[in-house]
């Protein structure tokens, strides 16, 4: 699982590669079904492993990157029990139509807030208690086929305390990132128009 720690560089070719409209994104290994669970669902379980109470102990987080083409956010969240250790959290927002992204009348923050999400946390708890359920119920990012027979045989809960904490921030975060998403795609659209004009001026026949 070394792959997940590599930040994705947003070069133009990567943007195309990771774009949700690109067929190259769906490989035979990765499931591409969108998630039907939103942040409220992740927060709906409070009691299992006292996750809501333990999420109160989480302190210190940062948004480390946004991959606009992949609708993916990465965070670093401090471990509660191991000082100096940070866990990487990944949140993938279900694909949103580009026309919606650039539509100033669309309430993009609300769309982001209510969207289905796929999640991952690098902590041991997520791996041992939740990653199988996450993959099976299409809200996981990485495949996990080992059923948690001993730790979570009834597949209770949804996420670890770190993700629970980040999900509480989600309504706030979706407001913060909506503008960034819109700016990115607006710029992308303008660049595409520029490119098209440039080609046209060169007298090359291009297909719109
Ligand atoms: Zn965690």
How is 83-94 classified by DSSP, letter by letter? TT-EEEEEEEEP
pLDDT tens for each residue of 63-100: 999 999 999 999 999 999 999 999 999 999 999 999 99
How many whole angstroms from 113 Cα to the centroid of ligand 1? 21
pLDDT of residue 32: 77
Q: Which residues surround ligand 1, an ion (CB under 5 A)?
A: 121, 123, 126, 160, 162
* Structure tokens given for 109: 């923050």
Q: Which residue has the higher pLDDT, 27 or 135?
A: 135
How many whole angstroms from 47 Cα to the centroid of ligand 1? 16
pLDDT tier at 203, thresholds 50, 70, 90: confident
Residues in the chain: 208
- For residue 63, the surrounding DSSP H or E stretch is strand 61-67
Neighbour count for residue 202 (Cβ, 10 Å): 8
- For the entire predicted model, the pTM comes to 0.80
How many whole angstroms from 125 Cα to the centroid of ligand 1? 6
């Amino acid at each position: 699982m070394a792959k997940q720690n590599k930040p994705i560089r947003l070069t133009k070719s990567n943007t195309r590669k990771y774009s949700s409209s690109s067929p190259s994104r769906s490989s035979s290994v990765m499931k591409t079904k969108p998630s039907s669970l939103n942040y409220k669902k992740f927060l709906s379980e409070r009691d299992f492993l006292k996750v809501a109470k333990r999420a109160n102990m989480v302190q210190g987080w940062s948004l480390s990157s946004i991959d606009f083409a992949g609708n993916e956010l990465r965070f670093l969240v401090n471990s509660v029990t191991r000082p100096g250790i940070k866990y990487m959290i990944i949140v993938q927002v279900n694909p949103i139509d580009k026309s919606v992204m650039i539509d100033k009348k669309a309430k993009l923050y609300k769309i982001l807030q209510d969207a289905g999400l796929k999640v991952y946390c690098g902590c041991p708890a997520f791996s041992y208690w939740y990653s199988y359920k996450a993959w099976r119920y299409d809200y996981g990012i990485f495949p996990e086929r080992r059923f948690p027979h001993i730790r979570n045989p009834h597949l209770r809960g949804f996420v670890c305390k770190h993700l629970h904490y980040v999900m509480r921030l989600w309504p706030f975060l979706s407001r913060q990132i909506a503008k960034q998403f819109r700016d990115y795609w607006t710029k992308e659209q303008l660049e595409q128009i520029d490119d098209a004009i440039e080609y046209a001026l060169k007298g090359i026949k291009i297909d719109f």
